[in-house]
Chains A and B, each alone.
Chain A
Amino acid sequence: LLVRAGDSAKRRDWPGIAAAYRAADAWDVRNAVVWKVAEPPGIEALLQQVRRSEPDNTLPRLILAVRHIVMGWEVRTAARAQHVSPAQFDVLHQHLRIAEQLLIDLAAREPDNLHAWTARLTTARGLQLGQAEARRRYDQVAKHHPHCLSAQSALLQQLCPKWGGSVEAMLGFARERGFAAPEGALNAVLVADAHFERALDLKGEERLPYLRDPAVQQEVAQAATRSVLHPSYRPAYNWVEAHASFALYQSLVGNFRAAAVHFRAMGPHTTTGHWGYLFAEPKKVFQQHRAEALAKG
């Protein structure tokens, strides 16, 4: 479906885009469609045009906002703040302000539009609106969807020390929301993600010892048991990323048997997710780790 949506966007086929959005049954998938169709460069012209011809349709407005977030973040790149030039920040902020104002209007018209509120977690972070405002936005999502993993992942980023949060707030949120979701849901992967973020915040030589801490190992294993390894687990949107997070964690701490379980579950799928943050060549590292885990585990 995502591929179909992406193709429609590349062909500038609005009915195709709208159909793909409607065809998705789960909210997460619809959200993924929105972000997928916002990728092709130049798509904003089509979105503007549809906005004018269908003024009551909020979908083009939403996708246009997301398109501006994508354009802003392309300029910023994934680098940490100190590597981004002031000019790049200016362009990022310009795009985010346009996106934010479209989303303010959208959220005012449709207060239960979770796409808008989730996207506003990203704009809040980029525009540095602070912890309290991010939390307020997350609460708007949680009011309608208490276990929305996309919004939880976005808030987890905001709670990182690098975005003005704290280790305690980040880990606390991951544990609380991760284990509050029903058994078999993916949300507990937040715990592994939070430990990665904590490790990234440490000096290079302190990272592995932190991840290998028995208490951390136990908590991550518990999170996997609760989510992707639970009997009631059924693959949901983003399941590959969840397994990849656990697989990466177990590989890094040298727990190849546990890593192999996750790599096997992923089958032929690959993802760079968190691997992208940690390594210069995430794909290569992924393949190496997978080969090693499958051989030893």
Chain B
Amino acid sequence: MAILRTEVDGVPTLIAPTAGQMHAGLVFRVGRADETLARSGLTHLLEHLVLFPLGLTDYHYNGSTGAVTTSFHTAGSNEDVATFLTNVCNSLAALPLHRLEIEKSIVRTEWSSRTSSISEPLALWRYGARSYGLLGYPEPGIHALTADDVLRWCATWFTRENAVLWIAGDAVPAGLRLNLPSGQRYRVPAPTSALPVRPAFFREGHKAVAFETVVRRTPAVPIYAEVLERTLFRDLRQEAGVSYSANAISDPRGDGSSTMIAVVDALPDKLGAAVGGFVDSLAKLTVGRIERADIASYLAKAQDAVRHPDAEAGTLSSAAFELLTGQPVRGLEERMAEIAAVTVEDVHAVAVEAMRDALFLVPEGHSADWAGFTAAPTHSASAVSGIPFPRLGSGSGPAPDGVGLTLLVGAEGVTTMRGTAPATVRFDEVAAMLAWPDGGRQLIGYDGLAVPVEPTLNGVDPGTVARIDAAVTSGRTIWMPARDPGTLPRPAATPSPPSQHSAAPRSGKFSRWEIAGILLSAIPAMLIACLAGLLSLGATGDNGSPNDIGWATPIATWICMLVIALPAIVIVIRGRRRRRHT
């Protein structure tokens, strides 16, 4: 039993038998890491457009966009599979571009309702706003995409040379036609780096500690991940009792290296111990204290999986990945032999290598410099020389939060001063610039640092904004829909500090309308409260005579006061929630 290799209309095809119904996937060597930040979301949008004409079917199908591959997969009868794959190719040849704006909004909705993964900040801090770092951004380029962008992207990447088909079934289903244009196979993108010194650490969140590293891809890497997971579980959950879950996974990057991510959770008051325990678990493996039983456990699980009748079919999608990325495709037996040959020394070697390129995520308020990790850059080496725009409403003194005190706009770029630390984005290193019709701009550099330009905060004149627009390389600007005037940052209130690596602006405290609403509701409510107070005093002084006003009137007045105060209360609560979520 082995994977059979053939071709369908020029597309390399991998086939393995299955006991169940047929399932198949058409995979292209293109993904989010191939995009640019300014046009991020292209692959995802295209995947949506391709699937739209297929409509609702009785069989199951889906599309998925990964870092370096995009796949369309389905399961059903042989005929269903043939129809689906043929239609995917036909749809690629005639994209329903009238759906462009609707699918853009669906993709954005998908983003707004999904939960983020810990791998996203790790990708962003390691690679910056390019290559694999783009997986850390919520595809902000989606706003800027045009029909031309989509057509060019389709013609470049979705070709028969850049595709692989896999089929779990007996043979190529009858009637299958893969009508794809000719093109070329692309290598995976070269990784960029935002980490001048490694091992490095950064602070993010309040719930978890995570460790990410890139190592040479060997059969020992997934075993190292398993050993680390089990070590973390024993040390942090069973022994120290600081964590509930410990997980580690490794994934090939497609260029001969693998990414390994390990995560543990902890309650806020135990996070310090989670960081400390994590460091000690890593050190244990680095010095070679590796449990043979953990390696044996991985091997046993793998051997169990091999006995499954669909074992070979289960490896088809990863075999397609290997083929697309130019890596050797191995059969199950060969893979098992490789795993069985992994020694403690091999795993130890991975553990040592893992520390060299490591990136450690520690919760806010914690550090890992004491354990030999260097802080990842949170500011730039220098500021640009240019015209200063001091923060409005703050005089010459520092802003209450010490953030965004001064904006400098120069010929080479823009700088915002965070205390004494400059955050600079040079015009020739702009990954993307978000642009709002109100004049607000956010420049995001290749290194992931973001500089906001807010006319409402820094008094930047339209002429300066125009100069910035002209200096940014064309094609890097993302025109955003108009912002609600109420959400613009305001100098009077204390704006939240812009996040170090944010792709979206933060909102201010209360809008002008909200403040008006609060005043209109709160002032009458206070007056009525005074009246109600007086009436209540009168009621307490009652002595049972018929002239007494009784409790009915004061109670009614209090209720009236609450009703009138309600809008103010609602606005304040909403504002608080909004600030918590930004």
Contacts and interface: CB of A to CB of B under 8 A. Distances in A.
Contacts of A131: 269, 272
Interface string A91-106: 0010011001100110
Given A100-B370, A109-B289, A139-B240, A133 B283 contact: no
Interface residues of A, number: 23
Interface in B408-461: none
B272 A101 contact: no
B107 interface: no
B275 to A, nearest CB: 7
A212 interface: no
B346 to A, nearest CB: 19
B277 interface: yes
- B interface: dominant SS: helix
Contacts of A40: none
Interface string B257-272: 0000000000001111
B273 A127 contact: no
B286 interface: yes
B365 to A, nearest CB: 9
Interface in B474-526: none
Contacts of B272: 129-133
B279 interface: yes
Interface residues of B, number: 23
A137 B276 contact: yes
B369 interface: yes
Interface string B292-335: 00000000000000000000000000000000000000000000
B371 interface: yes
A199 interface: no
Interface in B154-175: none
Contact of B273 (A100, A101, A108, A133): A133
Contact of A132 (B271, B280, B289, B369): B271
Contacts of B269: 131-132
Interface string A72-104: 000000000000000000000100110011001
A135 interface: yes
B284 interface: yes
B278 to A, nearest CB: 11
B280 A104 contact: yes
- A interface: dominant SS: helix
Contacts, number: 61
A136 B283 contact: no
A107 interface: yes
B277 A136 contact: yes
A107 B284 CA distance: 8
Interface string B104-140: 0000000000000000000000000000000000000
B95 interface: no
B287 interface: yes
Contacts of B371: 100-101, 104
Given A97-B370, A100-B371, A135 B280 contact: no
A127 B369 CA distance: 10
Interface string A116-154: 000000011001011111011101000000000000000
B280 A108 contact: yes
Nearest to A127: B370
A132 B275 CA distance: 10
A136 B240 contact: yes
A105 B275 CA distance: 16
B369 A97 contact: yes
Contacts of A132: 242, 269-274, 276
A130 B365 CA distance: 10
B287 A101 contact: no
Interface centre among A107, A127, A132 (most CB of B within 10 A): A132
Interface centre among A93, A97, A111, A129 (most CB of B within 10 A): A129
A101 B271 CA distance: 20
B372 interface: yes
Contacts of B242: 132, 136
B287 to A, nearest CB: 5
Nearest to A128: B367
Nearest to B281: A108
A129 B370 contact: yes
A107 B275 contact: no
A23 B372 CA distance: 35
Interface of A: 93, 96-97, 100-101, 104-105, 107-109, 111, 123-124, 127, 129-133, 135-137, 139
Given A108-B289, A132-B274, A133-B276, 16 more contacts: A100-B371, A104-B279, A104-B371, A105-B283, A107-B283, A108-B283, A108-B284, A109-B289, A129-B275, A129-B370, A132-B242, A132-B269, A132-B270, A132-B271, A132-B272, A136-B240
15 contacts: A100-B371, A101-B370, A101-B371, A104-B283, A107-B280, A108-B283, A108-B287, A108-B289, A129-B272, A129-B276, A132-B242, A132-B271, A133-B276, A136-B273, A136-B277
Q: Which 9 pairs, one residue from A and one from B, show the smallest C-beta to C-beta distance?
A: A130-B272, A108-B283, A132-B273, A133-B276, A133-B272, A136-B273, A132-B272, A108-B287, A127-B370
